[in-house]
Structure 1
Amino acid sequence: MSTANFQSIPTLDYSLATSDPESKSKFISQLRSVLINVGFLYLSNTPVDKDLITKVKRDYIPRLFDLPQVEKDQIKMANSPHFLGYSRMGMELTKGEVDWREQFDFGTGCERERSLKEGEPDYWNVYGPSQYPREEQLPGFRVLFEAYLAQLSALASDFLRLVSEALGLPPDTLDQFYKTDDRMHLSKIVKYPVQRESRQGVGAHYDGAMLTFLLQASEEHRGLQAQNLHGEWIDVPPKPDTFVINFGRSLEFVTQGVVRATSHRVLAPPLDSTTPRYSVPFFYSGMDLEVRVDESVLKSECLNI
């Protein structure tokens, strides 16, 4: 298994975690090493419907970005108090440089506007409905993508319990950060075009969520890179029938640094490419907004590492 100065990203077989106790024990041991030393992994043999994944990648993502600009702008993020919707190319910066990507942000679990009750803090405004293209613009897309997100949510919930076990804790320990039903996880659909101005698709950063599940939707394109402790950038190329998982700052924080969040970036396709790079990150991020630091259920003496 890799060390903190890893040179490649390990692959874990999810089916081991759902079979006999001996196989699960092997999976838990592998996951523990990744949590502490790497922060990135490929996950294979998940229960997410492969036909659903294929339809998202091939039938809808290119058509989503090929919608007329005026129709994409109708659901731009600026229209949403919940920071959900479409963003044009070059609308975000990382470390002062433009991220050359076009994207749609979606949330899960909030079908309608949530009116703030008297006395509620403004941060509850982050929960609200997503903006989708109208059905006549992209027939079937919303139903299909919401089904995909539901399966990712279930997988992420089960995987988080395995993370607890890998830390030597009861399986439901990390569930305690997700107590309320009123929560929302986030996803993006991202296009990185062939870029002349810069190779920065998105600059070096850490994710904020507990877990990120990434579907690399363009198997012909590399671009994702993770940084080891020597500062070297390690390629995380697309690998068929896998998700890339990385651990975010929230998990690093609640484990008091036992789990490491790993810096990563995406390079835009090189000039000799003929197609853009597409990716679909899912952020298991819907933690209870009322959780307080002094309520942390993970004290350092409880981590059996």
Structure 2
Amino acid sequence: MYDKNKLPILDMRKFYNIEERHIFLKELRYLARHIGFFYLIGHGLDQKRIDEIKKYTHLFFALEQKEKDAISIENSPHFRGYTQINGEYTQNAPDAREQIDIGAELDSIPLTSDLPIWTRLQGPNQWPQGWPNFRNVVENWLSDSRRISIDLIHAFMLALGVKENVLDQFILNQPNESLKLIHYPKMASDSQNQGVGAHKDTNILTLLLQDEVGGLQVLSENVWVDVPYVENAFVINIGETLELATDGYLVANTHRVISPKNKDRYAIAYFISPNIFSGDLPVLALPPDLKLLANGTTSDPNNPLLKNVAENNMKSRLRSHVNVTKKFYPNIYKNLNKERGDLYEKH
């Protein structure tokens, strides 16, 4: 039905059109099960909105280094702020990218002995000083991305044969959302090719807006498949939370980014997860024919998938942002060092 060496394109306008919705849902169900990555067009964002977020992403990374460092993620126990090149780790190796992490603007929750550590995921962002336009543009993009993501999650539920609102209690009231503006500088050496290492996302869904440079690859049947630029399209992929909710009927996909060689690459990635206080995500009551195909979740024994999605999300942050972990969570940092043979001690 589809060429697995070329990602298909889904048009969200078919979902919004009641007469064509069944066509969209049939396509989505097949792609979600068999490929897990696809392009999404017809999402309702015009060219002006897309150009705006791309423009401000470029402007942010063009700031003086001292201005970016002033809002370093190492200031934030909530993992919000700017990360320098090689400051984040994937598969125990540094990623050759710089980025800023932004989430919902909420008050922090004081860490006390009776609260789980993942409550620290909630907190304020760090914004460049004296640049209100940047904040306005980014927060508008967060709002746009949340709308599209919730509509798409509703479509996923209908495609799986369950009620479209079955996850609403987890995603409508302050979902745990994260936005990354990312810059991959061009690398002259082939030895520095890990823009971001092979991984699965921990969230429900990811919406990625990329540029023309390329470098994103998805693993399909043990072959790395390029995901080139498609104008005005989001690249959508399934995260581990949706794998948990379907008991493995849907599987989170492994992907990576190869560092560009001739031109810098920029990307905007939005991740949506359940509200951190909503508890464990239930396993969906899939129709019998789908349930028979649900083989349980897959998990890396060195990085096991946890049932509590907030805990899973926090674990991912702690392992990826080593300097933040060392500064704010020293006991966890020591345990990570024991697990990995003092891999991080040089930090």
Q: CA deviation at 1:290?
A: 4.2
Check conservation: 2:246, 2:283, Cα contact below 8 A. Answer: no
Check conservation: 2:175, 2:272, Cα contact below 8 A. Answer: no
Residue 122 to residue 92, structure 1, CA distance change in 2 (3 Å): closer
Query: For residue 154 of structure 1, what is the amino acid of its counterpart?
Result: R
Alignment partner for residue 97 of structure 1, among 93, 118, 123? 93
Residue 120 to residue 96, structure 1, CA distance change in 2 (3 Å): closer
Q: How does 1:1-305 map to 2 (within 5 A)?
A: 1-2=1-2, 6-21=4-19, 23-58=20-55, 60-108=56-104, 110-115=105-110, 119-134=114-129, 136=130, 138-178=131-171, 181-195=173-187, 196=189, 197-216=191-210, 218-219=211-212, 221-229=213-221, 231-270=222-261, 273=262, 275-292=263-280, 296-299=282-285, 304=290
Query: Which residues of structure 1 form unaligned runs of 5+?
Result: none
Q: CA deviation at 1:158?
A: 1.0
Give TM-score, length-normalised by structure 2: 0.78
Q: CA deviation at 1:20?
A: 2.9
Q: How many residues align?
A: 289
Q: CA deviation at 1:67?
A: 1.0
Q: Which moved more, 1:72-81 or 1:93-102?
A: 93-102
Check conservation: 1:2, 1:37, Cα contact below 8 A. Answer: no
Q: CA deviation at 1:50?
A: 2.7
What's the secondary structure of 1:83's corresponding residue?
Answer: coil
Post-superposition Cα deviations, 1:175-207, rounded to whole Å, max 9, x if no partner, equal: 24337x354300101100111241110011100
In 2, the alpha carbon distance for the partners of 1:119 and 1:302 equals 41
Query: For residue 104 of structure 1, what is the amino acid of its counterpart?
Result: I
In 2, the alpha carbon distance for the partners of 1:182 and 1:116 equals 20
Check conservation: 1:48, 1:152, Cα contact below 8 A. Answer: no
What's the secondary structure of 2:45's corresponding residue?
Answer: coil
Q: CA deviation at 1:282?
A: 0.1
- Between the aligned residues of both structures, percent identity stands at 34
In 2, the alpha carbon distance for the partners of 1:182 and 1:163 equals 20
Q: CA deviation at 1:301?
A: 5.5
In 2, the alpha carbon distance for the partners of 1:255 and 1:129 equals 32
Post-superposition Cα deviations, 1:92-134, rounded to whole Å, max 9, x if no partner, equal: 22223221001100002x3433446884333211101111111
In 1, the alpha carbon distance for the partners of 2:37 and 2:77 equals 32
Query: Which residues of structure 2 form unaligned runs of 5+?
Result: 292-347
Residue 183 to residue 120, structure 1, CA distance change in 2 (3 Å): farther
Residue 185 to residue 303, structure 1, CA distance change in 2 (3 Å): farther
Give TM-score, length-normalised by structure 1: 0.89
Query: For residue 25 of structure 1, what is the amino acid of its counterpart?
Result: H
Post-superposition Cα deviations, 1:254-298, rounded to whole Å, max 9, x if no partner, equal: 10111121110001112xx1x3100011001243434236xx151
Check conservation: 1:89, 1:101, Cα contact below 8 A. Answer: yes
Check conservation: 1:86, 1:104, Cα contact below 8 A. Answer: yes
Post-superposition Cα deviations, 1:58-99, rounded to whole Å, max 9, x if no partner, equal: 2x1121011111111111111111111100101122223221
In 1, the alpha carbon distance for the partners of 2:250 and 2:154 equals 15
Residue 302 to residue 186, structure 1, CA distance change in 2 (3 Å): farther
Query: For residue 118 of structure 2, what is the amino acid of its counterpart?
Result: Y
In 2, the alpha carbon distance for the partners of 1:184 and 1:227 equals 27
Post-superposition Cα deviations, 1:24-51, rounded to whole Å, max 9, x if no partner, equal: 0000000000110001000011112431
Residue 113 to residue 185, structure 1, CA distance change in 2 (3 Å): same
Q: Which moved more, 1:93-102 or 1:250-259?
A: 93-102
Q: Which moved more, 1:74-83 or 1:120-129?
A: 120-129
In 2, the alpha carbon distance for the partners of 1:123 and 1:139 equals 30
Residue 41 to residue 182, structure 1, CA distance change in 2 (3 Å): closer
Residue 139 to residue 244, structure 1, CA distance change in 2 (3 Å): same
What's the secondary structure of 1:185's corresponding residue?
Answer: strand
In 2, the alpha carbon distance for the partners of 1:286 and 1:301 equals 23
In 2, the alpha carbon distance for the partners of 1:157 and 1:233 equals 29
Check conservation: 1:178, 1:288, Cα contact below 8 A. Answer: no
